[in-house]
Chains A and B, each alone.
Chain A
Amino acid sequence: DAGITQSPRYKITETGRQVTLMCHQTWSHSYMFWYRQDLGHGLRLIYYSAAADITDKGEVPDGYVVSRSKTENFPLTLESATRSQTSVYFCASREDSWETQYFGPGTRLLVL
């Protein structure tokens, strides 16, 4: 199906574990973004990518790693999960600056 998907939708892990959240889009959009959403904060940008093999830090990148070897995939890895990384994570994609941004359904992550 066309669109932007995220997996898993729900994840429970323990502190210190490595976790990878997947994001896949079928439009071949150039730009992809990872956000986290926490109570009391607006969505905050973790990392973004302008194209395959081009990534850059956002507002809150510490503790996260991204890669983009293919245009359609943009995985986000928590190298050693901490409780403060409990959040809802949204992936988004967009073709260029003047286009609408499309959001994935979100991944709800709980770090115990």
Chain B
Amino acid sequence: KNEVEQSPQNLTAQEGEFITINCSYSVGISALHWLQQHPGGGIVSLFMLSSGKKKHGRLIATINIQEKHSSLHITASHPRDSAVYICACQRANTGTASKLTFGTGTRLQVTL
């Protein structure tokens, strides 16, 4: 079993829909990252959070440390949100490097 599991693997939505992507992890973490990878391949960091909730525009990320679970929500989805969304756990007790362990990603396609 992977240490970081994402669901669903693939998601198709219509423009305007509310989208939720889930991430569960089994290791101790100091922070969790959500990343976005566009079809061109570039990877952009969306959020880094260690507790609670963060919001940026139409994107909201939440984390429940006790349940070892995080969600990424997209409100009023748009075709430009089509991308692969990657959850990455910053492992605790790995020294100052705080290496990341990545999920395999959720491929989101938003259609008109």
Which A residues are within 8 Å of any B CB, using their own CB? 31, 33, 40-45, 48, 50, 56, 58, 88, 90, 96-103, 105-106, 108
**B48 lies within 8 A of A100 (CB):** yes
**B41 lies within 8 A of A97 (CB):** no
**B45 lies within 8 A of A100 (CB):** yes
- 26 A-B residue pairs with CB within 8 Å: A31-B97, A41-B104, A42-B2, A42-B4, A42-B101, A42-B103, A42-B104, A43-B88, A43-B102, A44-B102, A48-B97, A50-B97, A56-B97, A58-B99, A88-B41, A90-B43, A96-B96, A97-B96, A99-B48, A100-B33, A100-B45, A103-B42, A103-B43, A105-B41, A106-B41, A106-B42
Chain B residues with Cβ below 8 Å from A41 are 104
Name the CB-closest residue of A to B46: A100
A101 in contact with B41 given A42-B86, A42-B105, A43-B86 (CB within 8 Å) = no
Q: At the interface, yes or no: B90 with Cβ under 8 Å from chain A?
A: yes
Q: Interface SS of chain B: helix, strand, loop or mixed?
A: strand
Name the CB-closest residue of B to A102: B45
1/0 per position for B78-94, CB-CB distance to A under 8 A? 00000000101010000
**Complex Cα spacing A98 to B97, Å:** 10
- What 16 additional pairs, Cβ within 8 angstroms, besides A42-B105, A96-B96? A42-B86, A42-B102, A43-B86, A44-B102, A45-B100, A48-B99, A56-B97, A97-B30, A97-B96, A98-B31, A100-B33, A102-B45, A103-B35, A103-B43, A106-B42, A106-B43
